[in-house]
Amino acid sequence: KAGVTQTPRYLIKTRGQQVTLSCSPISGHRSVSWYQQTPGQGLQFLFEYFSETQRNKGNFPGRFSGRQFSNSRSEMNVSTLELGDSALYLCASSLETGQGQPQHFGDGTRLSIL
Amino acid sequence: QKEVEQDPGPLSVPEGAIVSLNCTYSNSAFQYFMWYRQYSRKGPELLMYTYSSGNKEDGRFTAQVDKSSKYISLFIRDSQPSDSATYLCAPTRGAQKLVFGQGTRLTINP
């Protein structure tokens, strides 16, 4: 069974640009969550999507947004990029939402802002 | 105060040793407790998943949760060089929002 697939693996952008990251969950998984990982802050929850609806949201500015498609694939968008947005962005999928469902992570997209 | 506290290490032990990794947390609403292992340049890999207090064993790994003291532990027996990685504890209340500790960087020396 294929794992969580994230594309692209690496991205380099400049301040002010916008970026879209993609995540394909494990087949059959309907919940997709996004996390940001930095050396200083560690892993922080961005948001979760289930059935094309945002179910939970972390404490990030509105520049961070996402969506989920009917096939459960998800995209995350960051607008007006700032230097502090440089991070590893991780996507995790689980079968369902709620009840502490185990989440399985992809290898992430490493975003560098110049 | 962070919701989840974890000693970042680094922790270095000889091959074959028993490793103890620990986290404390402040939110008594946490019910589900996960441990992840992360190798360099890879995403976190789910190691253990427990619900409420008690022990859970899987091969060389044992997860322990003490909700009365808000203390989470992961024990690795007969540690191997391939266990060298960063270990992250991640409790949750039930929503799909994991709250991660800072991670402990572990090195097993041959």
HSE, side-chain direction, 13 A CA sphere, residue A67:
5
Q: Which residue of A has its CA nearest to B8?
A: A42
Torsion from C-alpha of B4, B5, B10, B13, nearest 10 degrees: -90
Q: A5-25: buried (b, 16+ CB within 10 Å) or exposed (e) per residue? A: ebeeeeeebeeeeebebebbb
Pick from A30, A37, A10: which is nearest to A93 by CA? A30
pLDDT tens-digit readout, A50-93? 999 999 999 999 999 999 999 999 999 999 999 999 999 999 99
What is the pLDDT averaged over residues B62-76?
Answer: 95
Specify the pLDDT at position A5.
98
A residues 23..82 contacting B (CB < 8 A): 31, 33, 35, 42-45, 48, 50, 55-56, 58
The Cα B63–Cα B71 span in angstroms is 11
pLDDT tens-digit readout, A43-52? 999 999 999 9
Work out the pLDDT band at A2, boundaries 50, 70, 90: confident
The Cα of B48 is separated from the nearest Cα of chain A by a number of Å equal to: 9
Specify the pLDDT at position B94.
72
Q: Is B51 on the interface with A (CB under 8 A)?
A: yes
Specify the pLDDT at position A84.
96
Work out the pLDDT band at B33, boundaries 50, 70, 90: very high
What is the pLDDT averaged over residues B10-30?
Answer: 95
Specify the pLDDT at position A100.
78
pLDDT tops 70 at residue A1: no
The Cα of A82 is separated from the nearest Cα of chain B by a number of Å equal to: 23
Torsion from C-alpha of A8, A14, A18, A19, nearest 10 degrees: 10
Work out the pLDDT band at B20, boundaries 50, 70, 90: very high
pLDDT tops 70 at residue B103: yes
Residue whose pair of structure tokens reads 């790994």 in the numeric block: B61
Q: Percent of chain B at pLDDT above 90? A: 83
Specify the pLDDT at position B96.
74
